Copies of this chain bind each other. A is one copy, B any other.
Amino acid sequence: MKLPETKWQIDTPALTVDLPTLKRNILKMADFFKDKTARVRPHFKTPKTVEIARMQLEAGAAGITCAKVSEAEVLVEAGIRDILIANEVVGGQKINRLVRLLKKGAEVKLAVDGAENIRELSALTARAKVRLGVLIDINVGLPRCGVAPEQAVELARLVMKSPGLELRGIMGYEGHIVLHEDAQFREQEAKKSMARLLSAKELIEQQGMKVEIVSGGGTGTYNITGVYPGVTEVQAGSYALMDTRYDKLNLGFEKAVTALATVISTACPGFIITDAGEKFMSIEFGMPRLIGVPDAQLAFLSEEHGHITYQGGQPPRKVGDKVEFYPSHICTTLNLNDWLWVVEGEKVVDCWKIAARGKSQ
């Protein structure tokens, strides 16, 4: 593919990532963990792009985290071996896909929080003569997956006696806290969650079983969870690309991704209409932020259109002009798109496939 020279020549709607900014974000996270006991295992659910996962591993990441088997398949296909699926994998079809990855030599670990699921995983991995690493998922406050610490011992024991499975550790995601804007509250609550997670480790180890991996955290708590005694891995995802929602937390990472759109109409007084709608960028965390157009803002998105409103009588941009936004939620925005244009400032240097887009299985 012949690349356009500048980002303003990219046909729209389109996503760009600024390579120097991306590198600074990855380096900042790598630097933080350089002298720590814990390591970062970046979450692939955000970038879904193999080139970014490779950069994170080159910067010293422990491996890659993902949410779904189909994301792990993309990673293994790209030659990435050390993968944590930080989620429950249920049902024979998915477990057999997992078995195929293990047979290819991938070291895949995953979360469990139920006895039935452990028995199902054991039956299929034992039959296939593969060994699957297992982390007991602990509920640390987010009402989603995971058991209470006091229930973890029983599941750990079941894993220990299950052929095909290997008890590797525990995980607990404080997802109810990572986006809290009050830094003091965030720290206090994240520590409570980690105390709860580590209490599970203590209970399991009291019974003579070894808990090697203790995994938790996200971008909003990496510097709290990442230094909590006993935590060995942090599953941060958004830090590499960032968005306006995470930006409110002032974590020191920079927004690397912008969304490009073209003005297609100014016929309706008070509105500038672009070609970038909610099928291209997500809005569940609020409107993407219009960049560099004073007294104007993105007011709402319809399916295929963006509606910019402005103060003053004359629209500040004309039909054919390109405009740029910072996405409000980078994870779901990347999941809408197939391509990520790589820029250095205004210059286009590459185009990466968002290879795990839509991999929800």
Contacts and interface: CB of A to CB of B under 8 A. Distances in A.
Interface of A: 11-14, 45, 67-68, 87-91, 93-94, 113-114, 116-117, 120, 137, 139, 143-147, 151, 175, 262-268, 270-271, 273, 275-280, 283-284, 302-305, 307, 318-320, 331-332, 335-338, 357-358, 360-361
Given A45-B303, A332-B279, A338-B358, A273 B144 contact: yes
A344 to B, nearest CB: 22
A90 B307 contact: no
A278 B193 CA distance: 25
A273 B145 contact: yes
Contacts of A283: 284
Nearest to A282: B278
A114 B266 contact: yes
Given A271-B144, A273-B144, A90 B262 contact: yes
**How many chain copies does the complex carry?**
2
Contact of A335 (B67, B146, B151, B336): B336
Given A279-B332, A304-B67, A360-B304, A90 B144 contact: no
A87 B303 CA distance: 12
Contacts of A273: 88, 144-145
A268 B139 contact: yes
A337 B319 contact: no
Contacts of A67: 303-304
A96 to B, nearest CB: 10
Given A90-B320, A303-B67, A114 B265 contact: yes
Given A91-B11, A320-B90, A113 B303 contact: no
Contacts of A357: 358
A117 B284 CA distance: 33
A13, A14, A45, A90: residue with the most chain B Cβ atoms closer than 10 Å: A90
A277 B360 CA distance: 8
A180 B252 CA distance: 45
Given A262-B90, A275-B90, A303-B67, A318 B116 contact: yes
A229 to B, nearest CB: 26
Given A117-B319, A332-B279, A90 B143 contact: no
B145 A265 contact: yes
Given A145-B273, A145-B305, 7 more contacts: A13-B360, A90-B263, A113-B265, A114-B267, A137-B267, A303-B332, A337-B358
A151 B88 CA distance: 59
B116 A264 contact: no
A91 B320 contact: yes
26 contacts: A87-B264, A88-B265, A88-B273, A90-B262, A90-B320, A114-B266, A116-B318, A117-B264, A137-B265, A139-B267, A139-B268, A143-B271, A144-B271, A145-B265, A145-B268, A145-B273, A145-B305, A146-B265, A146-B268, A279-B332, A279-B358, A283-B284, A284-B284, A335-B336, A336-B336, A337-B360
Contact of A361 (B11, B319, B335): B11
B319 A11 contact: no
B268 A319 contact: no
Contact of A270 (B143, B264, B284, B337): B143
Contacts of A145: 264-265, 267-268, 273, 305
A137, A275, A302: residue with the most chain B Cβ atoms closer than 10 Å: A275
A354 to B, nearest CB: 10
